[in-house]
């Protein structure tokens, strides 16, 4: 167990202190009932998008769900298992310290947060590079393969999966969505549709070691005790995501063919010797760090630009804005009717009665007049509050104006409510989920770090659940990455990969939400 003295706790922001405090199982019947309803609703969503509802093996689904629940309970409340995960968390934190030594050589005092504050490029990007090199080394030495083989063997026996999909699913806990399929490279081209769906969903649901370390650094904010605590939650989220991916993928695309359960790992290695393996991992990590930096730069710039435009629109009075929208709608309808009359259905109109023709003219005149009226109201109506002030009053000052964050928060609020997040924090976690799906999980975790530093959450439970909601690579960019990456290994599967791309995104999202609901049920 992590022991924190009271003096250390008092030196942290209150949100951090609450996260570090020890927790016991909280038997809250309302919370448990709400979480169980949420899990059932999320599974129902997956069922709605199933390709073959009658073929779903509910035995496999229920077993996988039970494994998720057991993992969460063991990690959160059983001391030996907590110690085991804390040990691995400490290893991640120790490796972060090794990375700091290399960063100090390159950047000097720029990585000193006491002098220059927290600089993402200096604190996080080097971590991705080093962990990529370390993972490549462990892969070359065969250490990762042995760990993956053990877990995959257990998975295939407990849940009756094929050996290949078990290996790929477990491998995703340790390596990225494009590296994990390499473990089963010879089998990708002959995989069934259900196996391929699980490979894609697991890639969307779990987190690779390099980015996992980066998230630990971001959320821990340079505080070793906090980094260990978040490492435990992030590791748990990634491990839970493996059976979670099975739950959802086997509903979305059920297995209808007999599969081979033998577990054999591909003999392919990264490089011909240790130094080449490290070099390959370093270069891959450098590319990944560059991609992350470029995406964050562009996405944050787009968010700023989008918020400027949205905020400007929010400066209009509500009635004026509605009038403007109605004016545009009326004008479009009038144009549409004119277009229909002149170009698309002239013969039908010619055969119809003069009464029909007159009605169409009346519709055009009515829509045109309404459009003109609403346009005049937009310009001259002087009463009512602006949209920005309405947003500020509605959110009690959490949002001062209309923004992308506000919109995303309330668009995704219903699905976040299903997980059991506190009502006051639902828009915050909804905002994070929206940023993860539309932008990337890096943006989501970065925003979560800012929220923690600002003590925005009403309940600490919501902040912890948010780490599970954000787990995985389920975003629009990853759809293309998976199709391209796995498709390069098995070109004959590209058509299937393209068909399942959006389903895999849905599967990765639902898997993370179920994990969050399970953890929230126990807190």
Same domain, 324 and 269: no
Residue 266 lies in a domain: yes
Residue 270 lies in a domain: yes
Report the C-alpha gap between 193 and 185 in whole angstroms: 16
Report the C-alpha gap between 289 and 302 in whole angstroms: 20
pLDDT number for residue 37: 92
If one counts the domains in the chain, the total is 2
Mean pLDDT of 175-200: 80
In terms of Cβ atoms closer than 10 Å to its own Cβ (0-12, 13-18, 19+), residue 152 is buried
pLDDT number for residue 210: 66
Same domain, 282 and 366: no
pLDDT number for residue 302: 81
Give me the domain span that covers residue 242: 48-299+460-521
474-494 per-position pLDDT tens digit = 888 788 778 877 887 788 888
What is residue 3's three-state secondary structure?
coil
Same domain, 215 and 125: yes
Q: Percentage of the chain surpassing pLDDT 70?
A: 75
Q: Percentage of the chain surpassing pLDDT 90?
A: 12
Residue 421 lies in a domain: no
Same domain, 266 and 359: no
Residue 58 lies in a domain: yes
- Residue 181 — very low, low, confident or very high, per pLDDT cuts 50/70/90? confident
Same domain, 208 and 80: yes
Same domain, 53 and 83: yes
Same domain, 114 and 169: yes
Same domain, 234 and 325: no
Range from 68-72, 369-373, 378-382, 453-457 carrying the lowest mean pLDDT: 378-382
Nearest of 402, 445, 405 to residue 428 by alpha carbon: 405
Report the C-alpha gap between 387 and 456 in whole angstroms: 23
Nearest of 424, 376, 430 to residue 408 by alpha carbon: 430
- Residue 516 — very low, low, confident or very high, per pLDDT cuts 50/70/90? very high
Nearest of 476, 5, 463, 482 to residue 234 by alpha carbon: 463
104-130 per-position pLDDT tens digit = 777 777 766 666 555 667 766 777 777
- H or E, element range at 495: helix 494-521
Sign of CA dihedral 456, 458, 464, 470: negative
Nearest of 38, 225, 263 to residue 148 by alpha carbon: 263
| Alpha carbon 507 to chain centroid, angstroms | 11
| Alpha carbon 61 to chain centroid, angstroms | 22
Residue 442 has pLDDT above 90, yes or no: no
Residue 327 lies in a domain: yes
What is residue 191's three-state secondary structure?
coil
Report the C-alpha gap between 124 and 29 in whole angstroms: 41
Residue 383 has pLDDT above 90, yes or no: no
Same domain, 99 and 227: yes
- Residue 1 — very low, low, confident or very high, per pLDDT cuts 50/70/90? very low
Q: Is this structure's pTM higher than 0.75? A: yes
Report the C-alpha gap between 77 and 32 in whole angstroms: 16
């Amino acid at each position: 167990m992590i022991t924190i003295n009271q003096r250390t706790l008092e030196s942290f922001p209150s949100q951090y202190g609450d996260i570090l405090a020890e927790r016991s199982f909280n038997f809250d019947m309302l919370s448990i009932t709400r979480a169980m309803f949420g899990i059932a609703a999320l599974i129902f969503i997956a069922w709605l998008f199933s390709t073959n509802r009658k073929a779903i093996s509910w035995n496999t689904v229920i077993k996988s769900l039970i494994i998720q629940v057991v993992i969460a309970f063991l990690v959160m409340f059983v001391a030996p298992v907590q110690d085991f995960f804390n040990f691995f968390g400490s290893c991640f934190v120790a490796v972060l310290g090794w990375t700091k030594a290399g960063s100090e050589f390159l950047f000097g005092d720029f990585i000193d947060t006491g002098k220059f504050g927290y600089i993402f490029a200096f604190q996080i990007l080097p971590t991705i590079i080093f962990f990529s090199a370390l993972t490549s080394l462990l892969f070359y030495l065969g250490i990762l393969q042995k760990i993956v083989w053990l877990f995959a063997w257990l998975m295939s026996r407990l849940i009756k999966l094929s050996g290949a999909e078990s290996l790929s699913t477990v491998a995703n806990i340790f390596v990225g969505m494009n590296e994990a399929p390499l473990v089963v490279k010879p089998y990708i081209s002959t995989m069934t549709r259900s196996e391929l769906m699980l490979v894609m969903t697991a890639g969307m649901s779990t987190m690779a070691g390099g980015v996992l370390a980066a998230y630990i650094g971001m959320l821990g904010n340079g505080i070793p005790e906090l980094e260990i605590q978040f490492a435990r939650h992030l590791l748990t989220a990634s491990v839970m995501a493996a059976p979670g991916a099975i739950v959802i993928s086997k509903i979305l695309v059920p297995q209808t063919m007999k599969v081979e359960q033998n577990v054999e790992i591909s003999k392919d290695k990264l490089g011909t010797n240790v130094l080449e393996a490290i070099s390959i991992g370093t270069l891959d990590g450098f590319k990944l760090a560059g991609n992350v930096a470029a995406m964050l730069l562009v996405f944050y710039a787009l968010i700023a630009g989008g918020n400027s435009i949205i905020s400007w629109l929010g400066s209009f009075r509500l009635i004026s804005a509605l009038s403007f929208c109605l004016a545009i709608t009326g004008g479009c309808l009038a144009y549409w009717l004119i277009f229909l009359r002149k170009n698309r259905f002239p013969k039908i109109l010619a055969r119809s009665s003069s009464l029909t023709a007159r009605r169409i003219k009346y519709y055009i005149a009515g829509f045109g007049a309404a459009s003109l009226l609403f346009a005049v109201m937009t310009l001259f109506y002087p009463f009512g509050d602006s949209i920005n002030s309405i947003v500020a009053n509605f959110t009690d000052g959490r949002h001062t104006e209309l923004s992308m964050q506000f919109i995303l928060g309330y668009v995704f609020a219903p699905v976040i409510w299903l997980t059991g997040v506190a009502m006051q924090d639902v828009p915050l976690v909804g905002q994070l989920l929206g940023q993860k799906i539309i932008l990337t999980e890096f943006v989501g975790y970065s925003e979560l770090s800012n929220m923690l530093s600002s003590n925005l959450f009403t309940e600490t439970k919501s902040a912890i659940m948010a780490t599970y909601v954000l787990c995985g690579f389920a975003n629009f960019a990853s759809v293309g990455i998976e199709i391209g990456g796995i498709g390069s290994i098995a070109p004959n599967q590209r058509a299937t990969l393209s068909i399942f791309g959006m389903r895999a995104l849905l599967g990765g999202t639902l898997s993370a939400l179920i994990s969050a609901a399970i953890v929230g049920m126990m807190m």
